[in-house]
Amino acid sequence: MSKILTIGEILVEIIATERGNGFRAPVSLIGPFPSGAPAIFIDQVGKLGQDCAIISRVGDDDFGHLNVDRLRADNVDVSGIDIVPQGTTGSAFVRYREDGSRAFVFNIRHSACGTIELTGNAARLAEECTHLHVMGTSLYAPSVVDSILAAIRIIKSKGGTVSFDPNLRPEILNAPGMREALKAVIAQTDLFLPSGAELYLFTEATDEKDAVKELLATGIKAVVVKQGSVGATYFDQTRTLTSPGFAVEEVDPTGAGDCFGAAFVTFWLNGAEPEQALLYANACGARAVTKAGPMEGASTRAELDAFLVSQKV
Ligand code: ATP
Ligand code: MG
């Protein structure tokens, strides 16, 4: 049976409750919520009952323990999370502008997760797992990049697979070495999960069809473009499948892409047809936006089935 691994940041998210106001004056906040794109992704994978693990580091503080406890409760193997006695757990403050777009203040550069190394339990997990999911946000620190690239080599050498969600945040795109690291990961990717303009990140193409063709010609097996409330489109060498989004009330969009990706990768790895993987991934992304907090809207398989019945699918 396959075991899904991810490597990267664990942090907490603190959310401004009102739209429009900046952080230059006091605002009301909710949180801390467990967060970090790889953590949200793997929590959703675990909730679906799929064997999975995360390699990360947190400080020995409430923010770190909040995350480890949640991931463990949701069936994630947390043996690869080092609790660093003198370290701190990062945080992200997020606020929503009037138009619904998000602005982040990240405090992760000096947090424990920037020192991840592929040693000890982390090295064992890289040997044990058969699939690695990479989040672009994790490529901000050299030791995390090195660990991810080393894990890719180990997993690929055993015939395993790699999925990649660029998950770009303009706030960290210019971290030293980030662009080179993104290129190194895409070169090893089997399943590519961009959102909107991220489709064009690695090609010269300006329309969707050409961009997808170029990507598939490099050896990528499938591309799944996430389109927010519109839904998602799947492409491989022979098929283009579009699946509409579900009508839900959007409370907090953060985490939708991670939950979508988690469901898609889980179904795909377990041999589901892309139609079914898309359907469940759309359902998972839709449910994710209905709760405040990036991980709070993660779903079990039973919840997804009940949601699909309620949507008359
Ligand atoms: P993020 O990086 O913020 O987690 P993303 O940009 O990677 O998100 P989105 O396209 O925003 O990804 O969302 C992923 C998927 O979640 C969509 O393809 C869709 O299935 C679902 N989704 C997102 N927003 C909504 C919404 N408002 N209503 C219904 N479904 C949604
Ligand atoms: Mg995303």
The pLDDT tens digits of the residues spanning 223-255 come to 999 999 999 999 999 999 999 999 999 999 999
| Omega prior to 32 cis, within 30 of 0 | yes
The ipTM assigned to this model is: 0.97
Q: Two tokens at 247?
A: 């009508």
Cα–ligand 1 centroid distance for 276 (angstroms): 17
Rounded to whole angstroms, how far apart are CA atoms 108 and 115? 11
Q: Is 106 in the pocket of ligand 1 (CB under 6 A)?
A: no
- Percent of the chain clearing pLDDT 70 (strictly above): 100
Ligand nearest to the CA of 196: 1
In degrees to the nearest 10, what's the CA dihedral of 173, 174, 176, 178?
Answer: 30
In this predicted structure, which of 101-105, 207-211, 248-252, 298-302 has the lowest mean pLDDT?
101-105
Q: Is 257 in the pocket of ligand 1 (CB under 6 A)?
A: yes
- Determine which residue's CA is closest to atom 5 belonging to ligand 1: 257
Cα–ligand 1 centroid distance for 153 (angstroms): 30
| Nearest atom, ligand 1, residue 250 CA | 27
Cα–ligand 1 centroid distance for 209 (angstroms): 21
Q: Is 231 in the pocket of ligand 1 (CB under 6 A)?
A: yes
Helix (H) or strand (E) holding 85: none
pLDDT for position 22: 87
| Domains in the chain, CATH or no CATH each | 4-8+37-81+116-310 (3.40.1190.20)
Work out the mean pLDDT of the chain and round it to a whole number. 96
Query: What is the per-residue pLDDT across 138-180, written as a single tens digit (0 to 9) for each?
Result: 998 999 999 999 999 999 999 999 999 999 877 777 778 888 9
Q: Is the pLDDT of residue 95 over 80?
A: yes
User: Could you write out the DSSP letters of every residue in 34-70?
Assistant: EE-HHHHHHHHHHHTT--EEEEEEEESSHHHHHHHHH
Rounded to whole angstroms, how far apart are CA atoms 133 and 55? 11
What burial letters (b/e) apply to 76-104, b meaning 16+ CB within 10 Å?
bbbbbbbbbeebbbbbbbbbbeeeeeeee
- Determine which residue's CA is closest to atom 25 belonging to ligand 1: 229
85, 158, 198, 231, 285 from 299: Cα distances, Å: 33, 31, 26, 17, 9
Cα–ligand 2 centroid distance for 84 (angstroms): 28
9, 144, 247 from 178: Cα distances, Å: 15, 11, 36
Ligand 1 pocket mutation, candidates 164, 173, 278, 289, criterion most atoms within 8 A of CB: 289
CB burial of residue 312 (10 Å; 0-12, 13-18, 19+): exposed
Rounded to whole angstroms, how far apart are CA atoms 157 and 175? 29
- Determine which residue's CA is closest to atom 26 belonging to ligand 1: 229
| Dmax (CA) of the chain | 53
Ligand 1 pocket mutation, candidates 138, 165, 260, 267, criterion most atoms within 8 A of CB: 260
| Nearest atom, ligand 1, residue 281 CA | 20
- Percent of the chain clearing pLDDT 90 (strictly above): 90
Q: Is 246 in the pocket of ligand 1 (CB under 6 A)?
A: yes
Query: What is the per-residue pLDDT across 45-90, written as a single tens digit (0 to 9) for each?
Result: 999 999 999 999 999 999 999 999 999 999 999 999 999 999 999 9
